[in-house]
């Protein structure tokens, strides 16, 4: 069997959070195109249904939509149970849901801080643990968390201390779980994207001035595309990455190199 065949995900089952649009939609698409059955998990259920229907028609795989608030432990646990019930198991997941609030630290409210930490870090913890428990009991699996280059640098010119702190936490959580579960068959890795031009980002009036600045600073002179994150996620979800755990993959067009 050649490397291309080995990279396929035929027969595997997984879910992606924050998958109704943006990065999550792209990686869910890649998983399905590689042969996996996938659950589109998002708090926006209507958009999740549209995405699931689109991917099922496009790929021929079984793709379902599940409404879940990833900060609610009961909902997260029920989501994993539904994935297992409807897809027939759980081999991988991409925990991707997140938000960013740009506000100067001295002006940021505690409610804003808590919202970012709750979604970006606590939500990752809840989905990691719910998926991890199943995988530990059923022969292993692969967990992929979305961190950010913001875990490695302090972004400018926008102030976003809560986001940066939450994403740094995701990387340490990833490494901690990887160590705890290394000998029990569950691999845990993270990806740290740079600035990615999703549909929402590129059409946001508040971000357009920032995008011009980011592109001036970027070694490649542009933002990344969501599709440029697909290959690493397919690799991490599959069986060619069985010696890869506890790693963080920076995909940022060399932005963090200076």
Task: Report whether pLDDT(1) > 80.
Answer: no
Task: State how far the Cα of 47 lies from the Cα of 19, in Å rounded to an integer.
Answer: 9
Looking from the CA of 190 toward its CB, the CA atoms found within 13 Å total 28
Both tokens of residue 39? 């659950």
Q: How many CB atoms lie within 10 A of CB 67?
A: 16
Distance in angstroms (rounded) separating the CA atoms of residues 68 and 45: 8
The CATH-assigned architecture of domain 3-250 is: 3-Layer(aba) Sandwich (3.40)
Residues 6 or more apart in contact with residue 205 via CB below 8 angstroms: none
Average pLDDT over residues 93-97: 98
Residue 136 pLDDT > 90: yes
Domains in the chain: boundaries = 3-250
Tokens 């939509």, residue located: 65
pLDDT tens-place string over residues 215-241 = 999 999 999 999 999 999 999 999 999
Assess whether the previous peptide bond of 157 is cis (omega < 30° from 0).
Answer: yes
Tell me what pLDDT residue 202 has.
Answer: 85
Q: Where are the alpha helices (DSSP H) in the chain?
A: 3-7, 22-33, 45-59, 73-87, 110-117, 123-137, 161-181, 199-202, 208-217, 230-237
DSSP letter (8 states) at residue 215: H
Q: Please, which residues bridge with residue 142 across strands?
A: 92, 187
Banded pLDDT at 208 (limits 50, 70, 90): confident
The pLDDT mean for the chain works out to 96
Distance in angstroms (rounded) separating the CA atoms of residues 45 and 191: 25
CA dihedral (187, 231, 167, 179) in degrees, to 10, reads 10
Looking at the DSSP bridge assignments, the partners of residue 95 are 145
The 8-class DSSP code of residue 20 comes to S
Distance separating alpha carbons of residues 156 and 133, to the nearest angstrom: 39
Two tokens, residue 160: 């976003």
Residue 239 has what DSSP assignment? G
| pLDDT per residue as tens digits for the range 13-71 | 999 999 999 999 999 999 999 999 999 999 999 999 999 999 999 999 999 999 999 99
**Region 230-253: what's the mean pLDDT?**
98
Contact 32, 59 (CB under 8 A): yes
User: What residues are labeled active site?
Assistant: 148, 163, 167
């Amino acid at each position: 069997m050649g490397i291309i065949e080995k990279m396929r995900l035929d027969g595997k089952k997984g879910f992606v959070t924050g998958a109704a649009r943006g990065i999550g939609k792209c990686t869910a698409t890649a998983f399905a195109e590689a042969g996996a059955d996938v659950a589109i998990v998002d708090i926006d259920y209507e958009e999740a249904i549209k995405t699931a229907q689109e991917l099922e028609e496009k790929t021929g795989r079984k793709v379902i939509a599940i409404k879940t608030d990833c900060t609610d432990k009961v909902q997260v646990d029920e989501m994993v149970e539904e994935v297992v019930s409807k897809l027939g198991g759980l081999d991988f997941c991409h925990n991707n849901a997140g938000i960013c609030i740009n506000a100067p630290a001295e002006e940021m409210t505690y409610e804003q801080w808590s919202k970012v930490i709750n979604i970006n870090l606590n939500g990752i913890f809840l989905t990691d643990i719910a998926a991890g428990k199943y995988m530990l009991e059923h022969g292993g699996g692969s967990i992929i968390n979305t961190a950010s280059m913001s875990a490695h640098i302090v972004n400018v010119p926008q102030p976003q201390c809560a986001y940066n702190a939450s994403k740094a936490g995701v990387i340490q959580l990833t490494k901690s779980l990887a160590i705890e579960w290394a000998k029990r068959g569950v691999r845990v890795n993270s990806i740290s994207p740079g600035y990615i031009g999703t549909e929402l980002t590129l059409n946001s009036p508040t971000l357009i001035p920032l995008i011009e600045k980011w592109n001036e600073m970027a070694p490649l002179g542009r933002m990344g595309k969501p599709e440029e994150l697909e290959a690493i996620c397919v690799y991490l979800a599959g069986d060619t990455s069985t010696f890869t755990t506890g790693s963080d993959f920076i995909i940022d067009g060399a932005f963090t190199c200076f």
